[in-house]
Amino acid sequence: MSVTSKILYIPEPSTKRVVIVGGGFGGLKLALKLLKFDFQIVLIDRNNYHLFQPLLYQVAMSGLEPSAISFPLRKVLQNTKIHFRMAELEAIHPEKKEIATDIGYLNYDYLILATGAKTNFFGNEAIEKNSMQMKTAPDALFIRNRILKNFEKSLNKEKREEISAYLNVAIIGGGPTGVELAGAVAEMKKYVLPKDYPELDMNNMKIMLFEASPRLLAGMSEDASATAKKYLEQLGVEVRTNTAVLNYDDRLLTLPNNESIQVKNVIWAAGVTSSKIAGFPDGVYGRNNRLLVNRFNQVEGHDNIFALGDNSLMVEDAFPNGHPQVAQVAMQQANLLAYNFRRMERKSPLKPFTYRDKGSLATVGRHLAVADLPFGKFKGYFAWILWSIVHLLSIIGVKNKIFVLLDWTWKYITYDQALRLLIKHKARY
C-alpha cells in the first residue's frame, strides 16, 4: 500500500462533511442530490470523468470514440459547491472517521462507497493474464487495437490454421455484455471487415460465445434468452452454453473434454466482483466481495458508512441473493439515500429501500434486440428502438448525445463503422 501521510486538503467545513467515493451512476447522482442539503460534499474518483459503461462494447468495436460516452466530472460539477479530487481509495479507518487515498487522507462525518465492480476471473491467473476484459475506456481501446492488429498480422500468415487463429474471436460470458459484444463483432464481420480486408477469406473467421450456465441472459426471461441465441446464430455466431472455459495461454483456448481452439482474440465477460477495502473486517463482505448493507444502505456495523450500487449487497424478499448489478439499482439507492440523509439529520426514522425493477434490455444487432419490461416482453425492431432510446437518453451531456446519435445514424445509413484506428503507444510496441 502506498498511503501517504499527507492531508488531502479540503477547506474545513462549518457543516458536516459527506465524502462520496466513486463518480459512477450512483455516486454522481447522490452528490448532486445532496446539494439541496446543508453538507460539505467531497467527491473522489480515480478518473476525472464519468463513463457510460453500457456502450463500452461499441468503443471496442470501432463504433464510438471513448469521448462520446465519457463526460468530465468537473464539467458536471461546475457551478456547484461540490469538491472533487482525483484520487484512489486505499484504506478506511472507521475509528478515526478517516479515509486514506493515494494523495492523502481525509476525515468524514458520513462516507459513501460507490466504487463499482471489476472483472471477476474466478482465480484463473492464466485467463486473467492472457485474455482481454472490458470494464474501462482503456480496456475497450485495447480490445479495438488488439483485434485490428491481429487482422493485420493475419495477412502475413500462410497456413489456414494460423490465419484463423488471428481472425477468430472468442467471448466468454453470456450476459448482456457478452451478447452485445458478440453481435457487434458479427456485424463487423458481415458489413465492414470484408471491405477492409478483401485479401482475407472471412470463412476462416469464427465468432464464438461461451456460457457456463444453461442459457444466455440469465437475468432475463427464458423467451428473451432463446430469442437472443437465435439472433446471434442468424448472424453467424457459434453459441455454446453449458460450456465452461478452463484455460487460455494466449493461443489455445481449453474447453472441457480436452477440446481446444486456436484463437488470439479472447474477451472475458463472465462476471464481476468488488475489491476489498483495507480497514474493513472480512465479516462485512458477502458474495463476490460486495459489502453487506441493510435496507438503508448502511454497511454492517457502521451507522455512518454507506455502500450503494455494484459494490453493495442488500437482501430483499424479492432479491434474496442481492440486487442485480445494474445502473438502475445504484440510481434508485442514491435517490433514497439522499432523502434519508435529511431524515438522519432530523433524527427521524429512515425509509427502507425497495427496488423497482424497470425491466431489462439487450441488443444483438440492427433491428435485433430483446426487452423484458413491466408492461410486456418485446423482441426485434421495437425492442431495438426502445434499447436505442433508453441508452441515448441515459448518456450525460447534450453534446455526447448528439455525437452518439450522429455515429449511430452514419452507421445505420452506410453499414460502416468509421473509427477503425489502430492507435499504438510507442513505448509498448
List, for residues 293-303, the tens digit of each pLDDT value.
999 999 999 99
pLDDT (tens digit, 9 = 90+) per residue, 22-40? 999 999 999 999 999 999 9
Whether residue 429 is predicted with pLDDT greater than 50 in this model: the reply is no
pLDDT at 4: 56
* Contact by Cβ (8 Å): 85, 8: yes
Question: Where do the domains of the chain lie, and which CATH numbers do they carry?
Answer: 16-117+274-345 (3.50.50.60), 119-271 (3.50.50.100)
Of 90, 158, 180, 316, the catalytic one is 180
Supply φ then ψ for residue 71, to 5 degrees.
-140, 125
User: For residue 415, what pLDDT band results from cuts at 50, 70 and 90?
Assistant: confident
pLDDT at 5: 64
Active site residue 180: yes
Find all residues with CB under 8 Å of 12, minimum gap 6, and list them. none
C-alpha cell at 22: 466513486
Whether residue 428 is predicted with pLDDT greater than 50 in this model: the reply is no
Question: Angle, to 10 degrees, between the axis of helix 222-234 and the axis of helix 176-187?
Answer: 20
Q: 2-12: b or e for each residue (b if 16 or more CB lie within 10 Å)? A: ebeeeebeeee
pLDDT at 425: 60
Rounded to the nearest integer, the mean pLDDT of the chain is: 94
* Contact by Cβ (8 Å): 276, 285: yes
Whether residue 66 is predicted with pLDDT greater than 70 in this model: the reply is yes
Average pLDDT of the segment spanning 358-384: 96
- Sheet strand arrangement including 252-254: 247-248, 252-254, 260-262
C-alpha cell at 256: 472441457
pLDDT at 246: 96
Average pLDDT of the segment spanning 278-301: 95
Percentage of the chain exceeding pLDDT 90: 93
